[in-house]
Amino acid sequence: MTQDAVAILYQALPPPVIDGLRKDAKPGGYSDGGADIGFVLRGQGVRVLTPVVDPDPTRPMDWVFPDTAEGIAAAVATGATILWANSVLFDGHPLEAVIGRVRIVGQLPTLTQRYDDKFATNRMLEAAGLPVARSFLMAPAARPGVRALADVEAALLQADLSFPLIVKPVRGRGSQGVTQVADLAALNAAAVALIANAKFGDTLIVEEYLDGDEVTVTVMPPASPLPSGQLSNAHWPLRPVRRFDQKNGVAPYNGDVAVTANSVAIDAEEMMSPAVQAMLAACVRAAGLVDARAPIRIDCRAAATGHFKLFDLNMKPNMTGPGRPGRDDQDCLSAIAARAEGWNFARLLKAMLAAAW
């Protein structure tokens, strides 16, 4: 592994508008996580290439290349044999031009674009028989497959949904724009505000609110080593992480509250419960259906029956962790899950690196 040269990409390209919808870019383009990855891997003896000769651990941009055609070309020209795509990819992304020339830590760009559509992804998973939160699409004006905001009451009856509900963007990031609404007036107000903001486009998801525990499951790709050290030939899950201290039924955005303050891995006894095991099996199957080639994260909540439903599949989980100065509390949800398996952040990153394709 140390013979390879790794270059880490951050999101420098503006998010594309896809069918009138967009995914809001994270400030800094995930350069903070990219720097965490590079700094920790270098400390593990991995050859990490950087755009500057002597990168400063406190300056994220010292550690990452932009995911533009020019940035990728510069990384390859510097000698990169592996590109770590710590960015949101899309169909036509410049990374596609070097697939086959270098190995990739990340997803196929076309599949990332396809499955970043939360509504379409959930309907695909539901059609495959997986337990998924019920929902429908809503916009200012009706069109095929989308209900008009003025007709939302009839849509709720037809979908057999009742308040409280969740209103959220189709291509959101984290919990941005996600709102729990208690009645029709609140639903209309939340929808009008999100559409007027114009950050995510004019089409929204109205989704059933599940009032049980929320957990998030990181599913690792085939070829990544299991905690036992054996290589896997199939997707496999890390320990589920419970989210607590939610605000109005929604986990706060991690840019406002570090996930280490409101998240903890479940214990070994709960891990073996039938409801959790069924959820894990569903998440592993979902990873196969989306052809995940790097870790994905799936958010799930328990229904009144105690059974979990999947509601948000993330093709690009946030990947931050401790190591650089001032980053001690920056374990991401996947890193919290890995620690419950006995791994530190470095071990998680090396498992991801082992699955480069």
- Domain boundary among the residues 155, 188, 208 is at 208
Task: Report the chain's terminal Cα–Cα distance, integer Å.
Answer: 13
What pLDDT, on a 0 to 100 scale, did the predictor assign at position 1?
44
In a domain, 112, yes or no: no
- The residue from 208, 237, 272 where one domain ends is 208
pLDDT at 173: 80
pLDDT confidence tier of residue 103, bands split at 50, 70 and 90: very high
Same domain, 251 and 289: yes
Each residue's pLDDT tens digit, 245-265: 988 888 887 777 889 999 999
Q: Is 257 exposed, middle or buried (0-12, 13-18, 19+ CB in 10 A)?
A: middle
The single-letter code of the amino acid at 235 is H
Do 197 and 228 lie in one domain? The reply is no
Residue 117 forms part of a structural domain: no
Q: Are 110 and 91 in contact, with CB atoms under 8 Å apart? A: yes
Residue 136 token pair: 């429908």
With a cut of 50, say whether residue 292 has pLDDT above it.
yes
Residue 356: C-alpha distances to residues 110, 284, 317, 347 (Å): 17, 19, 16, 15
Given this model, what pLDDT does residue 82 score? 98
Q: Is residue 94 part of a domain?
A: yes
Is the domain of 78 the same as that of 161? no
Q: What angle do CA 285, 287, 293 make, to 5 degrees?
A: 145
Please, which contacts does 187-196 make with residues 24 or more away whose CB atoms are closer than 8 Å?
A: 187/152, 187/163, 188/149, 188/152, 191/138, 191/149, 191/152, 191/167, 192/149, 194/167, 194/169, 195/139, 195/140
Six token digits for residue 286: 């979902």
Question: pTM for the full model?
Answer: 0.95
Closest to 116 (Cα-Cα) out of 23, 51, 238 = 23
- What is the pLDDT confidence band of residue 63, given thresholds at 50, 70 and 90? very high
Taking residues 80-94, report their average pLDDT: 97
Shared domain for 87 and 163, answered yes or no, is: no
Q: Given phi > 0 = left and psi -120 to 50 = alpha, else beta, which region is 60? A: alpha
pLDDT at position 258: 85
Average pLDDT value for the chain: 95
The 8 Å CB, 24+ separation contacts for 176-179 are 176/24, 176/253, 178/250, 179/248, 179/250
The predicted pLDDT at position 2 comes to 47
The CATH number covering residue 316 comes to 3.30.470.20
Residue 232 lies in a domain: yes
Same domain, 309 and 195: no
Shared domain check, 347 and 218: yes
Q: Is residue 157 part of a domain?
A: yes
Q: Do residue 300 and residue 322 come from a single domain?
A: yes
Range of the domain at 99: 5-106
Count the Cβ atoms, other than its own, within 10 Å of residue 170. Answer: 25
CATH, residue 19: 3.40.50
> Among 15-24, 319-328, 330-339, which stretch is predicted with the lowest mean pLDDT?
15-24
Based on the fold, state whether residues 201 and 253 are members of the same structural domain.
Answer: no
Residue 85 within a domain: yes
Number of domains in the chain: 3
176 lies in the same domain as 225 = no
Residues 204 and 218 in one domain: no
- For residues 333 and 241, the answer to whether their CB atoms sit within 8 Å is yes
Does 221 lie in the same domain as 193? no
Q: Please, are residues 172 and 86 in contact by the beta-carbon 8 Å criterion? A: no
Q: Are residue 187 and residue 163 in the same domain, yes or no?
A: yes
